[in-house]
Each structure stands twice: as structure tokens, then as C-alpha cells.
Amino acid sequence: MLAFFGYASLRSPAAYAMQEPAQVELPDTDRDGLSDEVEQALLSQFEPAFWVGKNDCSNLPSEFSRDVKTPTVEREDGTIYGQAFVSGLAKTGSQTVELHYYHLWKTDCGEHGHPLDTEHVAALVRRADDGSAFGHWTAVYWYAAAHENTVCDVSQIARASTVDAVDHGAKVWISPGKHASYLSESFCREGCGADRCEAMVPLKTTKIVNLGEIGHPMNGSLFVSSTAWPLAAKMSSTNFPAETIARLEVMPRNDVALFNAGRHPAQGVIAVSGSTGGAILNSGENTTGAIGVAGDSTGNALEKSYRNTKHALGASVRSVGKALHVTPKSSEKPEE
């Protein structure tokens, strides 16, 4: 498919700036309305500066075999995969694009590990007309996924100015083992308490490979639709929903906010007790609903965790139990 993006086919923002705007038919392999050239230029301009564990048990983000539907590690060499698509948050008279950067790992080798690990960060970037063909692109917001869609979810969102990443990529810390992404090194100790960003070194990214879109993969990325990992779901969702942006905009300008609003009482229990963490974390990973609407088996696991840890946690666990809708049986005496 060809995209009428109004730009000559060039290889970098600097090269674009040397050209006059022209109506040129440019290849749009993934059929999302953005030319391949523009997508690659944006992915390069806003490439994050990743920091990884010096001795990560899964070495480095992996490159996966081309033209193979099953995710197959070719080499662990620091490859980053990208995605660029038109955002629904466009302002009148300006183009807005959402960029995703995926660091894909051979294994999650932290607690409750598993083969293959699909992690990412995202940026929302906007174009201003500066008289050049490419225009002047700046980032407006950044997002970092950390234990996404689990009870330990501490994914963050921030204004680009807050993390000093308006004209270029944000600095991102990747926790060793679990590979959660953080926009601040101090955030690495949040969540359920297992992450530690220690002995970190800058990642030497070997290349950024554009994945394209679901149904129209690019660069031989047939593995994007595999059910072996949740990559397709991450590629099909925005990380900048209007309601989350509205909540961020009323917060202090220097705040890095949790993506999911509200308090997270279960995380305190998990941080204190490894056994409790196992029960709750597994229920969070294996059910798609929130704890409040989880099935009977999840409820039983939480109730058992409550009973097993109430003596260790004392009075504080009772308030956590109430938040999780778990209360002692009537035959049990309250703590003194």
C-alpha cells in the first residue's frame, strides 16, 4: 500500500528538512496511513536510552527469527522492536503518532518466571509545521509498562517534559529478571517489592526493527500474532487513553503517575510475604478480571493467604483484607 503523507522518501529527519514538501506516493507496508520512512525516522528520533542489569539472567533483549510464526530466539543481542501508528488523540491541525518500543526477552527469569517475556515503553509524539517536509516532532507523554495487567501493576505515565524527553527518547530502567520498565530509577522498588535496579549498565541497542501492524507485519515479523506471548494484545492497544491523560493533566507537572488510578493495597501484602505474594500474583496472572471480581478459586486463595499471614502482619493486614474483600471467619477471634 502507498501512503500520501506529503513527504519525499528520505532516511532521516535531517534529510527531510532539506527537501520541499511534495505529494509523493510512499510505501506503507503495514497499511496504517504512515509511510515506512516516516515510521522509521520517528522510531529512531525517540529511541529510549535503556538501562539493563549488568548480569541479567536473560542476558539482553533478543532478536527473533524472521518469517517464522513461532517466536524463536535468533540471538540475544540488544535488538529493540518498534511500532508506529496514528493516534486518536490528534489535535486540530497537527498529526499525532503513538510509538511503541518492545524489548523482547528469551525468558522471564525472575520469581514465577516463564519462557518469553514481552515488555515495552511508549511515547505519544506530535508534529508541528516548521516549513520543512518532515516537520518538527516532539514527545508529549511517555509510558512505561511494569508488571502490566497483574496485581503488581505499577506501569507509569508522565509528561515528556517531566522525564526530560521532549525531543528525544526517555531514559528507561529495566529491572533485572522480570524486565519491568521504569521512567525513574526510584520507581524500581515499587510494586510488589521484587524489583531492584542495581548494577545497571546502558544497553547498546544493535537495531530498531519495525514490527508493522497485526495483520500486516513488516520485516518478516510473523511471530507478532503468536499465542505464545501477549505481543498482539499490546500492539492492538493504546497506552494513552483519554481518561488517563485527563487525570495526568490535573496532577503536578513534575509527577510521574501510576497508569492505573487508585491505591494498590495487595502490593503491600505481597512485598511483606513471599508466600502470600505467590498466591496473589498467580491469581493476578491467571485471571483477566480484577481481584474484586475474581472467581471462587481466586477468592479462596486470597482468603487462605489472609489467614496465613494475619499474625505476621498484625493489625495492618486487617485493613488490607477489607480492601481485598476478605474477612476472618466468625469463629476466629480478632487480633488484640
pLDDT tens-digit map of 122-158: 999 999 999 998 999 999 999 999 999 999 999 999 9
Owning domain of residue 280 = 266-323
pLDDT at 245 over 60: yes
Query: Would you say residue 217 lies in a domain?
Result: yes
Query: Would you say residue 330 lies in a domain?
Result: no
Same domain for 216 and 104, yes or no, is yes
Same domain for 62 and 161, yes or no, is yes
Same domain for 319 and 294, yes or no, is yes
Same domain for 276 and 176, yes or no, is no
The residue among 215, 241, 261 that closes a domain is 261
Phi, psi angle pair for 120, to nearest 5° = -160, 165
For residue range 276-329, list pLDDT tens digits in order: 444 444 444 443 333 232 333 334 443 444 444 444 444 444 443 444 444 444
Same domain for 76 and 145, yes or no, is yes
**For helices 265-272 and 274-286, what crossing angle results, to 10°?**
130
Same domain for 59 and 197, yes or no, is yes
- Provide the domain count of the chain: 2
| Least confident among 22-31, 62-71, 228-237 | 22-31
Same domain for 297 and 194, yes or no, is no
The residue among 261, 283, 305 that closes a domain is 261
Query: Would you say residue 331 lies in a domain?
Result: no
Q: Kindly give, in sequence order, each residue whose CB lies less than 8 Å from that of residue 259, ignoring residues fewer than 6 positions away.
A: 143, 153, 155, 156, 157, 239, 244
The residue among 225, 243, 261 that closes a domain is 261
- Give the per-residue pLDDT at 199: 95
Share above pLDDT 70 across residues of the chain, in percent, rounded to a whole number: 70
Same domain for 238 and 281, yes or no, is no
* pLDDT-based confidence at residue 266 (cuts at 50, 70, 90): low
C-alpha–C-alpha distance, residues 98 and 96, integer Å: 7
Same domain for 64 and 13, yes or no, is yes
Stated pTM of the model: 0.75
Same domain for 285 and 200, yes or no, is no
